[in-house]
Structure 1
Amino acid sequence: MALTEQQLADFRIIAGRMIPAEDGALGADDPVIFADISSSLNDIAPAIVSVLDAVTSEGPGNFAALPPEGQDTILQKVQAALGMTFWAAVQRVTLCYYRDDRVLRSLGLRPGPPFPRGQVLEQGDWTLLDPVKAREPFWRKA
């Protein structure tokens, strides 16, 4: 299921409220970031449509025309009503947002995959696994 241009435009406003552009940081409604978000929504399109429908039914009219505080109030109500359906949308927005190179640089991180480019992973205390290793198998043999 593909979203219409109008649905994408409406969801862009919602994404911008999920991660707003503040203190010089990019928001999720940035054109490049939202292009990544919109290209990855097809598999959760029914969830996005549910969010959009809930926003429409919860609000007094044009969601985009409301002040940010009013938009946030509606989104909080929709989040409470839809639960995990809403969180599917939040998860997709944050996933795409934090893989943008500009966002990573603004956080002081090097863009790209963390491995194998020399990122150091601190070693933990491997002896903590000894009780698990010593445990008898509890699964059924195939």
Structure 2
Amino acid sequence: MIELILDTILPGDAALGMPPASMLDFEAYQLRHRVFDQVDAFVAMIDGVARERFGQPFEQLDASQRLAAINGCKVVDVRLFSSFLTHVMRAYYTDRRVLTQASAGAVPPFPAGNELDTDDWTILEPVYMRGAIWRSTDSL
């Protein structure tokens, strides 16, 4: 069931060559980071949400229902939801195949890695020219 959950969150993109999350060795990630208990708790929670909302196990839901069940987990336990999602994203975006396809390379994104285009700060000029928009607290 974990593969179905992973693919619902990160289905991949064939056009970009991005693999679905189920192609990762998520079990090795769990072992390396010792998060089996959190993952098991999330799987149990999502199955409970699926049964409560749709009257059937998570595996039997269609794609939109699976996504709704995953989003429904936020209401049940936002900390567990956030923790699980963080682990899924870390596992996915540290995988060598994903990094290669994303052309991220082995450099950190910031500060010495990937360069950003310079910003156009002149768009803030009208805000600066407007002047202060608050009242002075001295008169209160």
TM-score interval, smaller chain: 0.5 to 0.7
Q: What CA deviation, in whole Å up to 9, does each residue of 1:44-85 have, x standing for no partner?
A: 246424344434443321322221111111212222332121
Partner of residue 28, structure 2:
36
The alpha-carbon deviation at position 89 of structure 1 amounts to 0.7
Partner of residue 15, structure 1:
6
The alpha-carbon deviation at position 94 of structure 1 amounts to 0.4
Q: Mapping of 1:101-112 within 5 angstroms?
A: 101-111=96-106
Unaligned runs of 5+ in 2: 117-140
Partner of residue 58, structure 1:
53
How many residue pairs were aligned? 109
Unaligned runs of 5+ in 1: 1-9, 123-142
- Tell me, in whole angstroms, the C-alpha distance in 2 between the residues paired with 1:104 and 1:38: 19
TM-score normalised by structure 1 residue count: 0.60
- Tell me, in whole angstroms, the C-alpha distance in 2 between the residues paired with 1:19 and 1:98: 11
Structure whose alpha-carbon radius of gyration is higher: 2
Q: Percent identity at matched positions?
A: 17
What do you get for the CA RMSD once the two structures are aligned?
A: 2.9
Q: Mapping of 1:1-142 within 5 angstroms?
A: 10-23=1-14, 24-30=17-23, 32-39=24-31, 40=33, 41-42=35-36, 44-45=38-39, 47-48=41-42, 49-111=44-106, 114=108, 119=113
Runs (4+) off by over 6 Å: none
TM-score normalised by structure 2 residue count: 0.61
